[in-house]
Amino acid sequence: MRRLWLEQAFLPEGWASGVALDIDGSGRIAGLAANAPLADRETVPGCVLPGLPNLHSHGFQRAMSALAQRRRAAAEDFWSWRGVMYRTALALPPDDIAAVTAMAFMEMLERGFTAVAEFHYLHNDSAGAPYADPAELATRVIEAAAQTGIGLTLLPVLYSAAGPNRPPEPGQRRFITDLDGFLRLHAATAERLRALPGAVLGAAPHSLRAARAADVAALSGLLPEGPLHIHAAEQTGEVAEVEAALGARPVEFLLREAGVDARWCLIHATHMTAEETAGLARAGAVAGLCPITEADLGDGIFNGNAFIDAGGRFGVGTDSNVAIEAPAELRQLEWSQRLRDRRRLVLADSARDGGSTGAALYRAALAGGAQALAQPIGAIALGCRADLVSLRRAGTDLAALSAETRLDHYIFAGGARLVDHVYVAGRCLVREGRHDARAAIESRFAAALRRLEDAL
Ligand SMILES: [Zn+2]
């Protein structure tokens, strides 16, 4: 039994002082008391938050964050970025995929995330042939999670085509499986994942572009357990292609044909009609927003106020991992709404936390993220895993600010440089902002990055 004492903690009912936690052998909170004496407990100083879940990542893309920022054509867009991503995917050997993914997971921990849903679509070797072990590359993701200690929900991806009624392109050869191959991969991944305590297995048809509509519709019946994620309506070109082929827009089709419910997380959901927005909220699915990547790729702006007004649930993800930082995702989400509407404090809830915009964003992303990852996380509460992020008070504005402005400072001003200690399942992984395994992870990553830049 681990015994912690949190100087200040953000509980579901609000900030509390002197919070004693008893943590059981599985890393869950088995005892909790506020205004408790320190006694012989290990102190977690500063302001302690539940760690934010990251509901969408492609770990290997961390390697290309700087390599896709050079303009080579008159007009660059999502589709030209995708070409760089395909070349990156083809160039990385399995060991480098593990190295790059470990770097991404370590940075998530150092910058405010404690769990991740990895949307994993690299399955074959560089020639496009399946490995002898279908879970060869999934195993590299599992290794990265084990090395860093992040909470993992692994989502093997079904990727079969270039578009509705279009065969795969050569650049996609590392991703391609048919439904039977995917189900074998899923079973092999389940086997490997048993070695990682607390890990969750879900599944992800890539999108209505890359997975056959009939397979997407069948998947929830074929795999009755675990979360289901899918990219949807990220780009207007994708919406048009799906509508032409299937006679319905992506979110419209998923709501009507795929039985979308609380098991599902629709990644992006950027381009929705008012009916789709209300329908997705009603379905109880999570909108998986990736505001920094969506800005980097020029995707568009999610209709946040209409979705939240309809009772919609959302969380945030780092997606391309171009700039990994938990508070910055929430800041970018709110700022995109302000820029579009020429208003301020758009996603705040005036009825809670004194109207704090930061607290409203953080609470929503905790709940939506926990649902999308299907892990017992998202709150400092009995039964939840002890995933904690402490923010430094000494030498920062947090030493002076009132409790109800703390999350506004973290999200809009202080950012991830405030992150001090980070715990997953009650175990301290990051001390004074630095992961315990940083030296080994960053040197292995640097070697992989040098090889990749030479290869591209
Ligand atoms: Zn994605």
DSSP conformation letters of 225-272: SS-EEEEES-SHHHHHHHHHHHSS-HHHHHHHHS---TTEEEEE--S-
Residue 229 annotated in active site? no
pLDDT over 90 (residue 151): yes
The stretch 145-167 carries a mean pLDDT of: 96
C-alpha distances (whole Å) from 75 to each of 79, 80, 85, 257 are: 11, 9, 17, 36
| Residue in 268, 271, 409, 421 annotated catalytic | 268
pLDDT over 90 (residue 165): no
Q: Is 438 exposed, middle or buried (0-12, 13-18, 19+ CB in 10 A)?
A: middle
- CATH 3.20.20.140 for the 52-373 domain, yes or no: yes
Neighbours of ion ligand 1 (CB under 5 A): 319
What is the per-residue pLDDT for 41? 97
What is the per-residue pLDDT for 74? 81
What is the per-residue pLDDT for 79? 87
Q: Do 61 and 23 form a contact (C-beta atoms < 8 A)?
A: no
Compute, in angstroms, the gap from residue 118 CA to the centroid of ligand 1. 9
Q: Where are the domains of the chain?
A: 2-50+379-438, 52-373
Compute, in angstroms, the gap from residue 115 CA to the centroid of ligand 1. 16
pLDDT single digits (tens) 243-296: 999 999 999 999 999 999 999 999 999 999 999 999 999 999 999 999 999 999
Higher pLDDT, 70 or 440: 440
The stretch 419-433 carries a mean pLDDT of: 98
The stretch 402-406 carries a mean pLDDT of: 96
- CATH 3.40.50.970 for the 2-50+379-438 domain, yes or no: no
Q: In angstroms, rounded to a whole number, what is the distance separating the alpha carbons of residues 431 and 443?
A: 19
| Average pLDDT of the residues of the chain | 97
Compute, in angstroms, the gap from residue 210 CA to the centroid of ligand 1. 12
pLDDT over 90 (residue 75): no
Residue 421 annotated in active site? no
Q: Is 121 exposed, middle or buried (0-12, 13-18, 19+ CB in 10 A)?
A: buried
pLDDT single digits (tens) 226-241: 999 999 999 999 999 9
Compute, in angstroms, the gap from residue 241 CA to the centroid of ligand 1. 18
- What are the structure tokens assigned to 133, written together? 């072990």
C-alpha distances (whole Å) from 162 to each of 165, 167, 168, 350 are: 8, 6, 5, 45
Compute, in angstroms, the gap from residue 319 CA to the centroid of ligand 1. 5
What is the per-residue pLDDT for 264? 98
| Residue in 319, 387, 408, 420 annotated catalytic | 319
Confidence category of residue 81, pLDDT binned at 50, 70, 90: very high
Q: Do domains 2-50+379-438 and 52-373 have the same CATH topology?
A: no
What is the per-residue pLDDT for 80? 87
pLDDT single digits (tens) 25-63: 999 999 999 999 999 999 999 999 999 999 999 999 999
